[in-house]
Amino acid sequence: MCVAPNPCPAQDQVAAAEASFFAHPTQLTFPARFLKAGEAYFSPDGSQVIFQAIEVPKDGVTASDFYAMFVADLVAPDGKPRLDNIRQVSPPGSANTCGWFDAAHPGRVIFGSTLTPPSNKEVPGYQRGTGRYKWQFPPEMRVVAVDLKAEPGSEGSPEKPALLAGDGTAYTAECTTTADGRWLLYCTLATGQGDIVVKDLVSGNVIPLVSAPGYDGGPFFSPDGTRLCYRSDRNGDSLLQVHIAEVVRDDAGNITGTKNERRLTANDHVNWAPYFSPDGSLLVYASSEVGHDNYEIFSVSAQGTPVRARVTHAGGADILPVFDAQGKRMMWTSQRGEGRSSQLWIADLVHPFPPTPSKATP
């Protein structure tokens, strides 16, 4: 939201300020269908999107307290991108977060889900200051997989997702994979704090990667599988900082740990949701640097000395930025639209990134 003494900038001012990074910002979801929508990711070929949202309820029905997970086709028949064939892929009534397309199994998606309604709506979670910006850690949350082609009610369908990680006793979510789909990366509170681990989906082995004191989460592999990015509140000051680390592999290509961790932000702000560009040269992330009433997206170089730059300039929060694998578009969650509700937006990159072939070992 825009509040005094910082009124919302005019649209032409916003467009001019953002023109060096992206063009043609286009809204993908709307409050007529969703009370709020966010955290969207592209399929490997860029033809689909997975996102979490709360739908507008039918007359006389109370809106859900929790995000459901949705998949949609990303189309542009008239040159303007839009979502088509939107369908829910999570169990009815469950709380869901952090969807991802399984590169090893086309037509399958993974995400964090409680499978059934959480037992406690007020479970502890991360929050900053006033508590306006927070997310919950329901212990029932685990990583599941859904086959988009499964028959309703069958194993692997939205009604009966397949279990990939977690046992329902400690929050397990924030899941992503290597580009080849073999290594499942996620955050778990099973250790008593937010730690980052990786699971070999072939052998079933689980390897700790980041276990510093405090909450470490939101991890992503670099496109070539050689690095991680993530957020951390290890300073214990209710702030988050962006980190990267190198992935360590043995001679057979198996992930064994991380090394050479580096902090890319070091300030008095909440910096979160980092995401690699397709060539691995920089990260985009959300920050409270402009104010906790107006989160904005920043970029920071991921190689050499960290150099930061502001990306978004609109009124209302701009958060959770991601790129498509082709390096041509950015998608994010924004309140810049009518009504200032959180919805999905997409834009063309002014300077596309060259895609990087994966170096991950199958």
Q: What is the pLDDT of residues 316-355, one digit of tens each?
A: 999 999 999 999 999 999 999 888 899 999 999 999 998 8
Summarize pLDDT for 133-165 with one digit per residue, the tens: 456 789 999 999 999 999 999 999 999 999 999
Read off the pLDDT band of 126 (50, 70, 90): very low
Inform me whether the pLDDT recorded for 356 exceeds 90.
Answer: no
**pLDDT of res. 340:** 87
pLDDT mean over 227-244: 92
- Specify the amino acid at residue 103: A
CATH label of the domain that carries residue 74:
2.120.10.30
- Distance in angstroms (rounded) separating the CA atoms of residues 183 and 204: 10
pLDDT mean over 179-191: 95
- Specify the amino acid at residue 213: P
Is 329 inside any structural domain?
Answer: no
- Distance in angstroms (rounded) separating the CA atoms of residues 249 and 255: 4
Contact in structure between 83 and 28 (CB atoms under 8 Å): yes
Phi and psi based region of residue 192 (left: phi greater than 0; alpha: psi -120 to 50; beta: remaining): left
pLDDT mean over 250-268: 96
- Distance in angstroms (rounded) separating the CA atoms of residues 195 and 211: 5
Q: Which helix (H) or strand (E) holds 15?
A: helix 11-18
Contact in structure between 305 and 286 (CB atoms under 8 Å): no
DSSP 29: -
pLDDT mean over 26-54: 97
Range of 111's domain? 28-123+133-263+338-349
| Backbone phi and psi for residue 322, each to the nearest 5 degrees, phi listed first | -145, 160
Residue with tokens 């599941």: 144
Bond prior to 5 in cis (omega within 30° of 0):
yes
Out of 111-115, 125-129, 199-203, 283-287, pick the least confident. Answer: 125-129
Is 44 inside any structural domain?
Answer: yes
The strand ranges marked E within 15-65 are 22-27, 34-42, 48-55
Inform me whether the pLDDT recorded for 40 exceeds 70.
Answer: yes
Inform me whether the pLDDT recorded for 128 exceeds 50.
Answer: no
Inform me whether the pLDDT recorded for 361 exceeds 70.
Answer: no
**pLDDT of res. 51:** 98
**pLDDT of res. 2:** 59
Summarize pLDDT for 53-64 with one digit per residue, the tens: 999 999 999 999
**pLDDT of res. 339:** 81
The whole model's pTM is what? 0.92
Mean pLDDT across the chain: 91
- Distance in angstroms (rounded) separating the CA atoms of residues 165 and 198: 10
**pLDDT of res. 359:** 56
Is 294 inside any structural domain?
Answer: no
Inform me whether the pLDDT recorded for 234 exceeds 50.
Answer: yes
Is 39 inside any structural domain?
Answer: yes
Dihedral, CA of residue 281, residue 216, residue 173 and residue 353, to nearest 10:
-10
Bond prior to 352 in cis (omega within 30° of 0):
no
Strand 183-188 and strand 172-177: pairing? antiparallel
Domain count, the chain: 1
Is 178 inside any structural domain?
Answer: yes
Percent of residues, the chain, with pLDDT higher than 70: 91
Residues 6+ apart with CB under 8 A from 246: 226, 227, 258, 259, 260
Is 207 inside any structural domain?
Answer: yes
**pLDDT of res. 308:** 95
- Distance in angstroms (rounded) separating the CA atoms of residues 107 and 111: 14
What is the total residue count of the chain?
362
User: Could you tell me how far CA 198 lies from the centroid of its own chain?
Assistant: 17
Read off the pLDDT band of 12 (50, 70, 90): confident
Percent of residues, the chain, with pLDDT higher than 90: 80
**pLDDT of res. 269:** 94
Read off the pLDDT band of 91 (50, 70, 90): very high
**pLDDT of res. 135:** 60
Inform me whether the pLDDT recorded for 3 exceeds 70.
Answer: no
